[in-house]
Structure 1
Amino acid sequence: MKKERKAPIFITKLSKLVKRIPPNHFKKQEFQDLLRNHSSGFKGEQSLEYFYRYLPKDILYLHGLRILDGEYFFQMDTLLITPSFITILEIKYMAGHLYFEDQFFQFIRTYAEKEEAFPNPIDQVSRQKIHLSRVLEQHKMNILPIETLVVMTHPAAIIEAASGYQEANEKVIKSSSLQQKYETLLQKYPNEVITQKQVKKLARLLLKLSSSYDPDICELFQVNKNELSKGVFCPTCPHSIMNYTWGKWHCSTCNTSSKTAHIEALQDYALLISNHISNYEFAWYLNLQSSNQAYHLLRSLNLPSTGTNRSRLYNLTPLLEKTT
């Protein structure tokens, strides 16, 4: 049983921001790097799906939980819940030589002749265990032992740990070792502590406590929303802006035409600017020649609205259900 893994809304918003930030913006490269890092992490989580098929069918998987403990949120990549134990997976998708050293408990990557230090994922997942234990105790459901694993999912990763770093040797694995490690844990915890029904009850609790990280991304990164590029991007050559004539959007660069290209532009607006839009804002944002064009395009979308005449606001939220 699995909670469906979807791309986090933060990644979706960040990708929209990268698309709408002008090429010469001084933060463009920063946002591109951030998007690449977050997308890489999500790709690593997705790649692990292949290896879940070799685990027992009755395991319950929860992905991307973000739960409040006291004043702060903690987040877990994946949680495996069984009647015998819980396992928190911290998933990393990193190529290169990955070295865990135990004198300063550092995680060091050497890649393309460059050496970098990163937060130690063993420590990260250990802190997640502390937070999860506290939350379960608060809800009187701290009856299952909690294990932690760091899973390196990049096929080109070379993993090494200092000879005396026992915790790294025990807790850091590659994707292909997940089944073997699970069987080891099953031997460690052979007895069922709760029933399958209680497993589902625990999962419902955690899902109820979880909330997505969904910030106003322009505010978060101090981007003026007026700086964002306006218009309908061509679906064929994405850097070109389309013009609306004779009931269709046309690209003068590649001659692509579309009746619905404005929907994605409105999704961008909803994710970056506001999930409500007026007729005037619609015309301004899509570079339309007249408010009459805006009115007919908006009406054709059958969006819920509030207000009347010039004060009417259209709710763009239904369009986000079409976001992939």
Structure 2
Amino acid sequence: MLIKSFEEAKMTLGLRALARRLQPSHPLYEQITRELQQAEAGEYGERYIVRQLEKLSYSMDIHILHNIRLSRPLPIQLDVVVVTPYEVIIIESKNIRGDVQLKSKPRQMIRILDTGNRSIFNHPEVQLEEYVYGLQGFFRQHNVEAHVGGVIVFPFNNARIDYENGMFPVIMSRELTNFLRQRNAQGERLDVQEIIALLLHHHTSYEPFPLCRYYDIEERAIRQGVFCPKCQLGMMHRLPLKWRCLSCYHTDSTAHYVTLQDYSMLISNHITNKQAQYFLQINNRHIVKRILATNCYSKVGVTKQSKYQILP
């Protein structure tokens, strides 16, 4: 059963907004786009694994939770958690292509592309070991007895794996069915519902916003205006009650909503009418006031410096 479905991480959404609004000439542009590509690739693999597990759950007693983040006793963020009647299994997803060597002494992951480009990363089992240790501590803290296991999963066949034996199994996603079937009838039975409720209750979202402060980027480096939701390239011009793209001529009545979300993730989740005029590129405080009244939680103050809290 799918308990906590796939959801894009807020950091990924923020990186996408930052890459869209940062000038390509900015010193951090390449770093931001690289981090965005890595985040999107990782989540693409996680989404695939969650879908495969959901199909499997129709014939097997498993419960799936995506992206569980716990702050105590250790801060850990788990890609996918599978709760079976006998065990809690952490799945560490690695969507990586090329020749992948998982070395045990020292523990390193070496990736060689077809171009010959060679990169060295932390071995995924080092991170998984920390996650298992953290989740075991979490259960002890709440007086829950549950065996915690882990597995490293490569979701696609775009990696050729050379694996030196380590602490955790390394499998492809197509092997998940057999892997879980073999482990689904061992040990003492768990109180599955208690474990699920505990994980969901203590899950916390990771929000590093605003990203301008996180990456030490000046606000003036962020591009203003409403981007076209259709062509993603053109800027939109405000017409009565709607927006029109200056490139593809697409019209949209709510294009400003994404722009306000960008502002919230990059600069601040509070905005004044004047700041909104500048960021939306609308030289009319009355139109902006109506937009903010519709797309914001609350207003603080009654002067021109009143601030609106942007809806998430």
* Structure-2 residue corresponding to 1:7: 8
1:250 to 241, 244, 254: 244
Letter in 1 for 2:189: V
1:308 to 291, 298, 302: 302
* Structure-2 residue corresponding to 1:33: 34
* Structure-2 residue corresponding to 1:134: 137
* Structure-1 residue corresponding to 2:276: 282
Matched residue SS, 2:33: helix
Aligned 1:137-148 pairs, distance under 5 A: 137-141=140-144, 143-148=145-150
Deviations 1:44-78 (A, max 9, x none): 001113421224443121221121234x5111111
Larger CA deviation: 257-266 vs 23-32: 257-266
Residue 31 of structure 1, CA deviation: 0.3
Letter in 2 for 1:208: H
Letter in 1 for 2:71: L
* Structure-1 residue corresponding to 2:206: 213
Larger CA deviation: 256-265 vs 304-313: 304-313
Matched residue SS, 1:134: helix
* Structure-1 residue corresponding to 2:79: 77
1:114 to 99, 114, 117: 117
* Structure-1 residue corresponding to 2:197: 204
Matched residue SS, 1:40: helix
Letter in 1 for 2:104: D
Residue 237 of structure 1, CA deviation: 3.2
Letter in 1 for 2:151: L
Residue 299 of structure 1, CA deviation: 4.2
For 1:193 and 1:302, locate their aligned partners in 2 and report how far apart those are by CA, in whole Å. Answer: 48
Letter in 2 for 1:178: L
For 1:34 and 1:90, locate their aligned partners in 2 and report how far apart those are by CA, in whole Å. Answer: 19
Identity %: 25
Matched residue SS, 1:80: strand
For 1:137 and 1:302, locate their aligned partners in 2 and report how far apart those are by CA, in whole Å. Answer: 42
For 1:258 and 1:63, locate their aligned partners in 2 and report how far apart those are by CA, in whole Å. Answer: 33
Aligned 1:158-169 pairs, distance under 5 A: 158-162=160-164, 165=165, 167=166
8 Å contact 1:244–1:250 — kept in the other structure? yes
Unaligned residue ranges in structure 2 (runs of 5+): none
Larger CA deviation: 96-105 vs 22-31: 96-105
Letter in 1 for 2:180: Y
Letter in 1 for 2:50: E
1:183 to 158, 162, 181: 181
Residue 102 of structure 1, CA deviation: 2.4
Residue 235 of structure 1, CA deviation: 2.3
Residue 246 of structure 1, CA deviation: 3.9
For 2:82 and 2:294, locate their aligned partners in 1 and report how far apart those are by CA, in whole Å. Answer: 45
Q: 1:123 to 1:295 in 2, by over 3 A?
A: closer
2:258 to 255, 264, 279: 264
Larger CA deviation: 20-29 vs 240-249: 240-249
Deviations 1:198-231 (A, max 9, x none): 3111111122222111012221111112221111
Q: 1:37 to 1:301 in 2, by over 3 A?
A: closer
Letter in 2 for 1:206: L
- Work out whether 1:193 is the aligned partner of 2:189: yes
Larger CA deviation: 237-246 vs 79-88: 237-246
Matched residue SS, 1:304: strand
- Work out whether 1:155 is the aligned partner of 2:157: yes
8 Å contact 1:3–1:63 — kept in the other structure? yes
For 2:181 and 2:214, locate their aligned partners in 1 and report how far apart those are by CA, in whole Å. Answer: 43
Letter in 2 for 1:41: G
CA RMSD of aligned residues (A): 2.0
